[in-house]
Structure 1
């Protein structure tokens, strides 16, 4: 799939999401979003796309370590497929490396290990960030007491 086709697919998907969102907002009693809320939604969209791009670059780097050459767009496509599979099926995160290596199977062989490495690093980073967030967000009065 060429970058142009990926872009066309992304534009069509964004249009369908926007149309569905408009239908939901107009047909159901959902409170109106403020300007600040729309800014947060926009920032979240940009962050999600950026995260998938960097996940793809991480996969590309891992594939290069085993001698395979992937373009950034192909790695991005593999990251999108892997992330999509992880969200669509229960316990899909375990299948993410399989989906990623299957996506690039025609251009590069033997990328399953690279996909496992990229997925492991991605989830390890997610767990670290989640743990730090839980430590920051916990109430101060909720400390563990010795002997209680």
Structure 2
């Protein structure tokens, strides 16, 4: 009986450790009150501003700034800032990193928070704010 209690205690400690060591981040769901932006609204919202988010892998904070010439600057310490490309067409913004596949999204906004949502499957690609 004692070894059974010890085994159960060990399992609980392991599970607690496994849960607390998780470094993944899942963005919050898009609220029902969020508005989907069109091309003009997206351009006016993104260009000239710096947005802050967190990656799903390892919970690393990052920032992204959208420039008017189709270039964005992605920053995630300790790496140097990286210039990428972005496009906008029919309410879909595509961010085209140098070393990763392009990620296309509709932009939804509520309460000064921005959700970049895959138009095909509804998955939240990014949740961004104007402050870190």
Task: State the TM bucket, normalised to the shorter chain.
Answer: under 0.3
Structure whose residues are more often helix by fraction: 1
What TM-score do the two structures reach when normalised by structure 1?
A: 0.21
Structure whose residues are more often strand by fraction: 2
What TM-score do the two structures reach when normalised by structure 2?
A: 0.23
